[in-house]
Chain A
Amino acid sequence: MNRSNIVELKNVSVIYDTLAALQDVNVEVQEGEWLAVMGPSGSGKTTMMNIIGCLDRPTRGTVIFDGEDISGASLKTLTSIRREKIGLIFQQFHLVPYLTALQNVMLAQYYHSLVDEKEALKALERVGLKDRSSHLPKELSGGEQQRVCIARALINYPKLILADEPTGNLDETNESIVVDIFKGLNAEGSTIIVVTHDREVAQRAERVVRLAHGKVVTGRHHRHHHGAHSPQDITRAKPNG
């Protein structure tokens, strides 16, 4: 099966003043893939996610998103790609504090097209938060806030879901709830890219890309497709020495 690429980074560099946060990075992500990005702090993971997530433009190199070269696209174009095709999940959740869980989800609908309360409730139900829909973020636990953030990210059926350290602020129980949600989404065909420090989270992805000092160190394909993860897969995903 020849799946098309949702994102291609070709020799992408991002340079801040003199510091190269990314250096000649080449990464391809296929549609329907579940990719984990790992690497030490400061290795350029967030920088790469910003490029893929159309939040930033590379200093050099080419970015192809969904078949479109967006390396030099206008901010307006990038905004519309984010709105139409990308769901963002943040380590700090970034919920609007004075809006309820439901309203936070509907916010994404509002900027996308039309608000639809039933749809938004369904999204919350999907992350197991239907009964907490009228709560404010401060009345929710970290895990619950992250699930609201996920519901907001998937409400508009994005082609690509990007999560930068989604479990960084969560305990193990919530971490596994979140990863299970990703698994479900991926099984339904969503492309997911997760930045993580957590080996267990990375092991559940199909493939791991490792960054160090702004360069890709390994980009290793698991042999299987989404779905069942055997213990062997987990072994394969582990770092090579």
Chain B
Amino acid sequence: MVALLAVAIGATVFFGMATVYIDVPVRLSTAFRAYGANILLLSEKGLSSEELKEVRNFVPEANLVGLNPYIYKTMLLNSHSVTVTYTDLKEAVLTNPFWQIKGALPSERGEALIGSDLANILEMEEGFTAELGDINQDILFSGVLKTGSGGDNFVYLDISELGDSYLADIAELSVSLSGDNLEEFRTDLTFEFPDITPKLVKRVVNSETAVLKKLQALVLFVTIVVLSLTMICVSTTMTAVVLERLKEIGLKKAIGAESRSILMEFFWSALILGFFGGIIGCFAGFAFANFVSLSVFSVSVDLHLGLAVLSVLISVIFTVIAGMIPVYSASNVNPIMVLRGE
């Protein structure tokens, strides 16, 4: 019973930690997308709206965080020269989750966002209207945008103001991939769209990869330490179980049992123990990994079936090894030594 518990705990740790180990990069690369786009799409002849639609379809849906084009124009705003940025504002807030908007996103034509620095200079706020040169109409600022970067001097209009088809200067793409997966995706993209040059946003990507590697190393380290502790625990428990049954082993030998049949008996019980301990451990480990993932990333983990099989296998193998070492020496006990009076 105690041994079953020890084995189950061992398998729990292994399965749980391995699940976390596998899941962390996936979860984190999603979480990392809070730091903005990790790919910039460039093209010498500009990015057409059709091309961007194709790119959007090319990105696996599960990994797409946001894709938005940018078109920059210089215009007069109440006779000040300003940069007007056309972008898909609904996507832009997904790609740039750190954008802070005081007020609301434009909801109809003729509405715009104003960068916070520009708003300060012009002493404007959300709800103000102004005359925008080229369009020759009044626009209403539905909100003030703080991007936290150079973009705070711009006026932002939704790309729909330009109609259905346009030619973008640049586009931002945010995908929940990191490390080698991201690099692979970029290569695929280059292959699929020869006219487009996808550039990784080095500053973001590199620091993400570094953090991920460190985190995985940490999880690996913790797993190894905890696992070796559990292994010691399992083998100690097995030793205790065998010692407890030393008298029984001596008796069996005295009445004519071969060492080999005693080994086999323990072998089967260790096998069964490892098997059930492993299965219990898988359930507990899954619950553990789920708990960790839910509390850290607020998402539940997927059940890795292969990993479950591996955990059961490992727990069986280890239980058998840990169990058979003390059993082997116990099977060689001298029955007269253990059966001697109290």
Using a CB–CB cutoff of 8 Å, the interface residues on chain A facing chain B are: 46, 50, 55-56, 76, 79-80, 82-84, 86, 88, 90-92, 94, 96-97, 107-108, 111-112, 152
Given A56-B336, A96-B251, answer yes or no on A83-B341 (Cβ-Cβ < 8 Å): no
Query: Of B5-13, B252-260, B316-324, which binds chain A?
Result: B252-260
| Closest residue on chain B to residue A90 by CB atoms | B339
Judging by beta carbons under 8 Å apart, are A76 and B254 in contact?
A: no
For A83, the chain B residues whose CB sits under 8 A away are 255-257
Q: Which secondary structure dominates chain B's binding surface?
A: helix
CB within 8 Å of A: which of B297-342?
334-336, 339-342
A88, B252: Cβ atoms closer than 8 Å: no
Q: How many of chain B's residues have a CB under 8 angstroms from any CB in A?
A: 18
Contact B247 A94 (CB under 8 A): yes
Nearest first, the 6 closest Cβ-Cβ pairs linking A and B are A83-B256, A111-B257, A94-B251, A82-B256, A55-B336, A111-B256
Is B257 within 8 A of A96, CB to CB? no
Tell me whether B342 and A82 are in contact (CB under 8 A): no
Do A92 and B256 touch (CB < 8 A)? no
> Which A residues lie within 8 Å of B340 (CB)?
46
**How far apart sit A177 and B339, CA to CA, in the bound complex (Å)?**
24
- Closest Cβ of chain A: how far from B298's Cβ, in Å? 48
CB of B248 within 8 Å of the partner chain: yes
Residues of A within 8 Å of B252, CB to CB, are 107, 111
Mask of B247-289 contacts with A, CB within 8 angstroms, 1/0: 1100111111110010000000000000000000000000000
Q: Which of B34-71 contact A (CB under 8 A)?
A: none
Set of chain A residues within 8 Å of B256, measured between Cβ atoms: 79-80, 82-84, 86, 108, 111-112
A112 to B336, CA, bound (A): 20
Interface residues of B (CB under 8 A from A): 247-248, 251-258, 261, 334-336, 339-342
Contact B261 A92 (CB under 8 A): no
Contact yes or no, B258 A108, CB < 8 A: no
Minimum Cβ distance to chain B for residue A101 (Å): 15
Q: How far is the CA of A55 from the CA of B337 in the complex (A)?
A: 10
Please, which residues of chain B bring their CB within 8 A of the CB of A50?
336
Evaluate contact between A88 and B254: CB separation under 8 angstroms.
yes
Are the CB atoms of A55 and B255 closer together than 8 Å? no
CB pair A91–B341 under 8 Å, yes or no, is yes
Nearest-Cβ distance from residue B225 to partner chain A, whole angstroms = 36
- State in angstroms the CA–CA spacing of A91 and B341 once bound together: 8
| Least distance between B135 CB and chain A CB atoms (Å) | 90
Known: A55-B336, A91-B341, A92-B342. A76 touches B258 (CB 8 A): yes
Min CB distance B342 to A, Å, is 7
Once the chains bind, are B255 and A96 in contact (CB under 8 Å)? no
B254 and A82: CB pair below 8 A? Answer: yes
User: Across the interface, do A111 and B261 meet the contact criterion of CB distance under 8 Å?
Assistant: yes
Contact A82 B255 (CB under 8 A): yes
Is the CB–CB distance between B258 and A79 below 8 Å?
yes
Q: Do A79 and B253 touch across chains, with their CB atoms under 8 A apart?
A: yes
A197 and B342 CA atoms in complex are apart in Å by 17
CB distance from A78 to the nearest CB of B (A): 10
How far is A33 from B253 in the complex, measured between Cα atoms in Å?
A: 26
In the complex, A14 Cα to B261 Cα: how many Å?
30
A92 → B minimal CB distance (Å): 7
Question: CB distance A111 to B255 under 8 Å?
Answer: yes
CA distance A92 to B339 in the complex (A): 8
Residue of B nearest to A47 (CB): B336
Among B255, B261, B341, B342, point to the contact of A108 (Cβ < 8 A): B255
Query: Are B255's CB and A107's CB within 8 A?
Result: yes
Name the B residues within 8 Å of A97 (CB-CB): 248
Note all chain B residues with C-beta closer than 8 A to A111.
Answer: 252, 255-258, 261
Q: How far is the CA of A46 from the CA of B247 in the complex (A)?
A: 18
Task: Point out the residue from B248, B261, B335, B341 that lies within 8 Å of A55, measured CB to CB.
Answer: B335
Of A46, A92, A152, which contacts B255 at CB under 8 A?
A152
- Can you list 18 A-B contacts with CB-CB less than 8 angstroms, sorted by A residue number? A46-B340, A50-B336, A55-B335, A55-B336, A56-B334, A76-B258, A79-B256, A80-B256, A83-B255, A88-B254, A92-B339, A94-B339, A96-B248, A96-B251, A107-B255, A108-B255, A108-B256, A152-B255
